[in-house]
Amino acid sequence: MKSEGLSPIVQTIAGILFPMILIFSFYVIMHGHLTPGGGFQGGAIGASAVVMLIVAFGAKNIEKKIREEKLSAFESIGGVVFIAVALLGLVMASTFMSNFLVGDIIFGKIPPFGSNLGILNSGGILPILNLAVGMKVIGGLSAVVLVMALASKEEKNDI
């Protein structure tokens, strides 16, 4: 059985498509408070881009470039950012995870009532939380698929 992945045509096209899918997933994550989407949906799109690379190139070649400890660290950074922003809401206002940026400078415009075109500058702490959850989902799902693909390949070599 070939353990190097698929044919060169598939490897070239996968290398071209990978940055486009990553950019699309970043767009869905950042526009989570204006259009349908958000943290979990954009994270699933990004994880499927990494899985496409694993299928096209073989699990052993990907494991030399992106080791699974780095994917695990990427996921943990997302979790720490989520809890840090929520505790910051306890310090600034009076409740845990309160929306303290509405009306301020960074993400603070309030849109007018009714149908409008959508302002990227609005939303309070929602874009920051979307980014943290998106990092968590991409890191977690890619690490799970990489570990399972490596484990099922080494059994064929034993028998």
**Member of 82, 100, 134, 138 binding another protein (CB under 8 A):** 82
Among residues 29, 133, 43, 125, the alpha carbon closest in space to that of 85 is found at 125
**Member of 56, 72, 93, 106 binding another protein (CB under 8 A):** 72
Residue with smaller CB distance to another protein, 14 or 146: 146
**C-alpha–C-alpha distance, residues 7 and 25, integer Å:** 27
> Min. distance of Cβ 122 from another protein in angstroms?
5
**Member of 4, 27, 35, 73 binding another protein (CB under 8 A):** 35
**Residue 113 binds another protein, judged by CB under 8 A:** yes
Q: How far is residue 31 from each of residues 10, 42, 105, 147, 155, measured CA to CA in Å?
A: 31, 10, 19, 31, 43
Q: Please report where in the chains the tokens 């302002």 appear, as a residue.
A: 119
**Residue 130 binds another protein, judged by CB under 8 A:** yes
> Min. distance of Cβ 17 from another protein in angstroms?
24
Q: CB-side exposure of 124: number of CA atoms within 13 Å?
A: 10
Among residues 45, 55, 46, the alpha carbon closest in space to that of 7 is found at 55
Q: Are 158 and 93 in contact (CB under 8 A)?
A: no
**Member of 105, 116, 156, 157 binding another protein (CB under 8 A):** 116
**Residue 138 binds another protein, judged by CB under 8 A:** no
For the CA atoms of 82, 88, 94, 96, what is the dihedral angle to 10 degrees?
Answer: 20
The residues pairing with 109 across neighbouring beta strands, listed in sequence order, are: 122
**Residue 33 binds another protein, judged by CB under 8 A:** yes
- Residues within the interface to another protein (CB under 8 A): 32-36, 38, 40, 68, 72, 75, 79, 82-83, 86, 97, 99, 102, 107-118, 122-126, 129-130, 133, 136-137, 140-141, 143-144, 147-148, 150-152, 154-155
